[in-house]
Amino acid sequence: MIYGYARVSTKGQAKDGNSLEAQEAELKKAGAEKIYTDAYTGTQTHRPELDKLIGVLQDGDTIVVTKLDRIARSLRQGIDLIDSLVEKGVAVNVLNMGKIDDTPTGKLIRNVMLSFAEFERDMIMQRTAEGKAIAKQQPGYKEGRKEKYSKAQIDHAMRLLEGSNSYRQVAEMTGISKSTLIRKKKGLAV
Q: Active-site residue numbers?
A: 9
Cα 134–chain centre separation: 25
Q: Which of 63, 24, 42, 47 is nearest to 121 (CA)?
A: 42
**Cα 30 from Cα 23, distance rounded (Å):** 11
Backbone angles phi, psi at 126, to 5 degrees: -65, -45
Q: How many degrees, rounded to 5, is the angle at CA 166 between CA 163 and CA 167?
A: 115
